[in-house]
Amino acid sequence: MKSILFLLLGLVSIAPQESMANANERPNIVLAISDDQSFPHASAYGCKGVSTPSFDEIAAAGVLFHNAYAGSPGCSPSRASLLTGRYPWQLEQAGTHASSFPSKYAVYPELLKQAGYWVGYTGKPWGPGNFKASGRTENPAGPGFNSKTEKSPFSGISNKDYAGNFQDFLSKRPDGRPFCFWYGAHEPHRGFEYGAGLKSGKSLDDAEVPAFLPDHPVVQSDMLDYYLEIEHFDLHLGRIIQILKDAGEFENTLIVVTSDNGMAFPRAKANCFEYGIHVPMAISWPSVLEGNQQSEALVSFVDLAPTFLQAAGLDIHPQMTGISLIGHMQGAALERDAVYSSRERHSSSRYMNWTYPQRAMRSGDYLLIHNFKPDRWPAGDPVKLNADGSMGPAHGGYHDIDACPSLTFLIKSRHDRKWGPYLNWSVDKRGEWQLFNVKDDPECMRELIKSPRVKRIRERMVADMNEFLKSTDDPRMYENGDVWESYIRYSRIRKFPMPPAQIPE
């Protein structure tokens, strides 16, 4: 089993870059990316509540990654990180949510297009944001193919026929051209049709509720609806795989299946905890990679663009921070001690549209988080203003948590002796530094930052994180850190009372 080699091999020769592809046999590249799916939620990982045979097929045909990390716990900066091979703090406006995307940053679809690839996307590309504001003429993911539609099985699911649009994309490909396609599902992004999971035949017993959420029927049903939408993403992935096989292209197609960030539940998405940044990932390329591999290596979204470029026989762009994964997938150990994620602004959730800046570092079994503004509320100010300037309802300002039945239950149950603490875990202010052993505590519930048992680990990780952020020119490490507050937000902006805002009863 290759997983043993990944742990034991230190030096394995990597095929020269030019041998990855030649002018006549360059591989096709397909990225399949769901919208808001946390790492455990695929059947290949042992999650019993969700069935993902297509994801599992890609894993069986290639490599199943157990420690893949998104660039950010929010879609727009995370997708920008994937496209550029750079960490979000290296991307100016593109490193925050719903802003612009400076054209000076190279993106892999455009580089492949310049090299002769036929490029396109369906569904959700980079966004939300305004790519035209920075002088780009098309979405960084490429031109869209979205004309094919189908009847939605439930109201929360898009009517886009993703697989049909992929077929349309292929039908328009010039003869002999390799292709690069972005399949960006809108699922399992909120909102869900409440009860759809139960209607589809799932049972509340199927829901695997993480420890930071109440194991209550309301939340269980919400989880089932989330599972159902993952299965819709996987259904179209399966159809795309079959189209590739029918066209004789599957063997020479590099397929990456992942998600942009974690699930849209309290204390997951928009947080640098495990359920916000640790994502599923499987990669296949049957003509080059052996199947049934398992990797425990730490990999990052910044690695995907370099991987695609090397597979296509191109030089890795000098702007890119990440490394190609091809050598690792062929048996070489990955020379890396840590991966990083970050967030700034997510939704409009605070006074003056302020951010909640975080940086996260995963190293070994530990996750370190730096909350640069611990005086701010992590999920949003507790109360917002109505359109007429009056105070809104209690606990109505948590817009860094997507509106959902689970959040409503937490707010309604905040005075309940059993369920009350769950809201606090999601919305209360946090210390400047947080540390968790994610091997023993993947839900990040047991804070270790003050534990004397991990003093050396904490000191090493803090020093390493600070050094890495400085070496990669993170503004938060210098005097211009608040530049993030100045970037234009092109989505809705809400109004909040001037701090200090207190949590209401």
Q: What is the pLDDT of residue 502?
A: 65
Segment 314-322 shows an average pLDDT of 98
In this model, does residue 18 exceed pLDDT 60? no
Q: What is the pLDDT of residue 499?
A: 87
Enter the tokens of residue 42: 């695929």
Tens digits of per-residue pLDDT, 120-140?
A: 999 999 999 999 999 999 999
Distance CA 488, CA 493 (A): 10
217-246 helix and 53-61 helix, angle to the nearest 10 degrees: 50
Q: What residues does CATH 3.40.720.10 cover in the chain?
A: 26-334
CB 148 within 8 A of CB 165: yes
In this model, does residue 335 exceed pLDDT 90? no
Q: How confident is the model at residue 504 (pLDDT cuts 50, 70, 90)?
A: low
In this model, does residue 491 exceed pLDDT 50? yes
What whole-number percentage of the chain has pLDDT above 90?
93
Single out the residue of 428, 427, 410 nearest to residue 419, CA to CA.
410
Segment 298-318 shows an average pLDDT of 98
Tens digits of per-residue pLDDT, 459-482?
A: 999 999 999 999 999 999 999 999
DSSP code at position 59: H
Tens digits of per-residue pLDDT, 214-263?
A: 999 999 999 999 999 999 999 999 999 999 999 999 999 999 999 999 99
Lowest mean pLDDT, pick from 8-22, 33-47, 260-274: 8-22
CB 299 within 8 A of CB 67: yes
Tens digits of per-residue pLDDT, 31-72?
A: 999 999 999 999 999 999 999 999 999 999 999 999 999 999
> 26-334 belongs to which homologous superfamily?
Alkaline Phosphatase, subunit A (3.40.720.10)
Residues near 236 by beta carbon (within 8 Å), at least 6 away in sequence: 161, 162, 163, 183, 185
C-alpha pair distances (Å), 352 with each of 196, 400, 497: 38, 15, 9
At 1, the amino acid letter reads M
Q: What is the pLDDT of residue 236?
A: 98
130-168: burial string, b at 16+ Cβ within 10 Å, e else: bbeebebebbbbbebbbebeeeebbebbbebbbbbbbbb
Q: What is the pLDDT of residue 25?
A: 84
In this model, does residue 20 exceed pLDDT 60? no
Q: How confident is the model at residue 7 (pLDDT cuts 50, 70, 90)?
A: very low
CB 122 within 8 A of CB 146: yes
